[in-house]
Amino acid sequence: MWAAPRKRFIQIIMTTEADFQKFVDDGYLIIKDFLSEADINEIEQKCYDIVQEMNPNEHTLQTFSTSEDDQNKKRNNYFMESADKIRFFFEKQAVNEKGDLTVDKHKALNKIGHALHVLDPVFKKVTHSQLIQRVAKNLGFKKPVVVQSMYIFKSPHVGGEVVPHQDSTFLYTEPMNILGFWIPLEDCTLENSCLHFIPGSHKNGVSRRMIKAEDGVSTTFVGPLLEFDNDKFIPAEVEKGSLVLIHGEVVHKSEHNYSEKSRHVYTFHIAETEDTKWSKENWLQESNSMKFPPLYQ
Ligand SMILES: O=C(O)CCC(=O)C(=O)O
């Protein structure tokens, strides 16, 4: 899959052969100046408009009830049914026990997911842009589909930690052929909790999988939860408009955002379909009404 760099790839996205080799070696790659200021503004404005129209009571209050079981069931359903929808996931710290927001709704969200790339024209356009298509082609993807998209907020003070993980834990294919596109819309630094990677950690397979539980409406983990040496993580500080390519098996994380600054990101994942099987055990499944869209024909 991760073929040798081609000249075209290097010319088009203006990186060097050494950079490309870095992706193969490290499992991630930062490409500067990928999106224009106009594109960034358009995405941010679109997200603002989506949140502006959203009534938090319809998305948080319904996940709260007096019974813990009932509450968990509603939360699970809300998540499990989000593959073909635009749904709103709030930060734990931004919602009190009654289900009321403790901060402005624009600063209370953890993320929006998981079908922005299908249902919203702006996100669709960015996801299927020629530049993105060329990156995937030049990395050797033959028939990739876009399986999910997310707008991540990492809001000031409430933006929660993302524990060390591999994306293929959640999006599993056989053989493993997952690639994440992670596009910061604001500068990401140590202060507002940039990503951290363990370079080279994509070479040892996937230790743990999240699969649909027997009840069909919740998820469970199988496989050991590995401990990672904190000293091995390298911070990836990036400027807004960069593209961070994330190999499906590279271990990465981000810390809680205790700063005054948000850290907005648009991210999506592609999966190969040629000679590759999407696991029926993944929480994320295409439905009859919404098939995973091809990145290109
Ligand atoms: O944006 C972040 O902080 C983490 C995102 C991430 O790890 C993921 O989407 O897999």
Q: How far is the CA of 123 from the centre of ligand 1 (A)?
A: 18
Protein residue with least CA distance to atom 10, ligand 1: 167
- CATH superfamily for 16-36+115-278 is q2cbj1_9rhob like domain (2.60.120.620)
pLDDT for 246 beyond 80: yes
Assess whether the C-beta atom of 265 lies below 6 angstroms from ligand 1.
yes
Assess whether the C-beta atom of 257 lies below 6 angstroms from ligand 1.
no
Give pTM, 2 decimals: 0.93
Domains of the chain, by residue range, sit at 16-36+115-278
Q: Which of 30, 179, 195, 283 is the best mutation target for the ligand 1 pocket, counting ligand atoms within 8 Å of the beta carbon and taking the most?
A: 195
Assess whether the C-beta atom of 162 lies below 6 angstroms from ligand 1.
yes
Q: How far is the CA of 256 from the centre of ligand 1 (A)?
A: 12
Give 101-156 pLDDT, tens digit per residue: 999 999 999 999 999 999 999 999 999 999 999 889 888 899 999 999 999 999 99
* Contacts of 266 by beta carbon, 8 Å cutoff, 6+ apart: 43, 116, 123, 126, 149, 150, 151, 152, 183, 185
Neighbour-count burial of 89, counting CB atoms closer than 10 A to its CB (0-12 exposed, 13-18 middle, 19+ buried): buried
Q: How far is the CA of 67 from the centre of ligand 1 (A)?
A: 31
Assess whether the C-beta atom of 168 lies below 6 angstroms from ligand 1.
no
CB atoms within 10 A of CB 254: 23
pLDDT for 214 beyond 60: yes
* Contacts of 222 by beta carbon, 8 Å cutoff, 6+ apart: 208, 209, 211
User: What per-residue confidence (pLDDT) applies to 134?
Assistant: 87
Structure tokens belonging to residue 81: 């049914």
